[in-house]
Amino acid sequence: MTETITLGQFIIRQQADFPFAKGELSRLLRDIGIAAKIVNREVSKAGLIDILGDAGGVNIQGEHQQKLDIYADRQFISALKSGGECCIVASEENEGIIRLDTDVSKNAKYIVTIDPLDGSSNIDVNVPVGTIFSIYRRKTTEGRPQLEDVLQKGTEQVAAGYIIYGSSTMLVYTTGKGVNGFTLDPSIGEFCLSHPNMQIPESGFIYSINEGNYVHFPQGVKDYIKYCQIEDPATKRPYSSRYIGSMVADVHSNLIKGGIFIYPVTASAPSGKLRLLYECNPMAFLIEQAGGRATNGDERILDLEITELHQRSPIFIGSKNMVEKAESFNLLNQVLQKN
């Protein structure tokens, strides 16, 4: 009989990989898992309670907030505040950093950045949505934690992952020692190890991009899409185009099956649309740990300098061979010419 390993048990077993920590990181990951269960409960009841639809507000990104955006944001911040291992939360839904100035957390060592509910515009039509999170160590040593503690390159992450709320709910994360996936068992209310040592195939047959914006893409991106569509038995093309509209869902699918997720610059988003802190960095860290690759079309995502809390970036992420092939098409050529 196969042993059932819960998320809590697994985290404790991996504690030896972090000699600098004394259990804080383990407790922080546990807190994120608890909040994920609460959010999953509400997502699974969407349609039965008044939590669907537009909340009537606009977030710092200029995007209409859904009721579940606000709910998820509050739940994760509350869990991290109660846990006491996090001194700052930076959320996609809030303009500035949130200092958790409680007696317990004000001297905490860790920073959490989070996209509380990625793909929330899909919740009304029952399409998978998710949460993306990233964890950094605090840099400053005296006084209140500062913005500079948050504006760290992706290479400084100590952990990152996502939760996908779909036909089953999964938490997938890395601490720089590979990638492991846990599926929520509703019968016991625990995340259980279901996908140990996840590895993304080096090549795949899926490209995920919103082709409705095709006319606004740089020429290099258009050329790569055409490459994906041209029949060539030697490279098993044409590839399949599958775009869910939720980064978590698209990347999760490609992690398991192999593929590339693309969100390039466009005429209306010349710096890209996805946020570096909340989406690109954590996903890049995780996919690299699974053997994949993540780039902005010119540079490795994790090496990009961060100067703004809500900084955006284009991203090409997924199977190593597919991303490298895409890079060969000079993906940023039009942007580089303009600059």
Determine whether the annotation assigns residue 100 to a binding site. no
Nearest to 131 by CA among 94, 169, 96: 169
3-state secondary structure the chain: CCCCCEHHHHHHHHHHHCCCCCCHHHHHHHHHHHHHHHHHHHHHCECCECCCCEEEEECCCCCEEEHHHHHHHHHHHHHHHHHCCEEEEEECCCCCCEECCCCCCCCCCEEEEEEEEECHHHHHHCCCEEEEEEEEECCCCCCCCCHHHCCCCHHHEEEEEEEEECCCEEEEEECCCCEEEEEEECCCCEEEEEECCCCCCCCCCEEECCHHHHHHCCHHHHHHHHHHHCCEHHHCECCEECCCCCHHHHHHHHHHHCCEEEECCCCCCCCCCEEHHHHHHHHHHHHHHCCCEEECCCCEHHHCCCCCCCCEECEEEECHHHHHHHHCCCCCHHHHHHC
Determine whether the annotation assigns residue 243 to a binding site. yes
Determine whether the annotation assigns residue 273 to a binding site. yes
Determine whether the annotation assigns residue 148 to a binding site. no
Q: Locate tokens 């039009």: which residue?
A: 334
Nearest to 38 by CA among 71, 66, 11, 87: 71
Determine whether the annotation assigns residue 115 to a binding site. yes
Determine whether the annotation assigns residue 117 to a binding site. yes
- Cα gap 101→310, rounded to integer Å: 22
Determine whether the annotation assigns residue 22 to a binding site. no
Using CA of residue 216, residue 221, residue 225, residue 230, what is the dihedral sign?
Answer: positive
Determine whether the annotation assigns residue 121 to a binding site. yes
- Cα gap 229→258, rounded to integer Å: 17
Determine whether the annotation assigns residue 232 to a binding site. no
Determine whether the annotation assigns residue 303 to a binding site. no
Which residues fall in the annotated binding site? 92, 115, 117-121, 210, 243, 273, 279
Which residues fall in the annotated binding site for substrate? 118-121, 210, 243, 273
Which residues fall in the annotated binding site for Mg(2+)? 92, 115, 117-118, 279
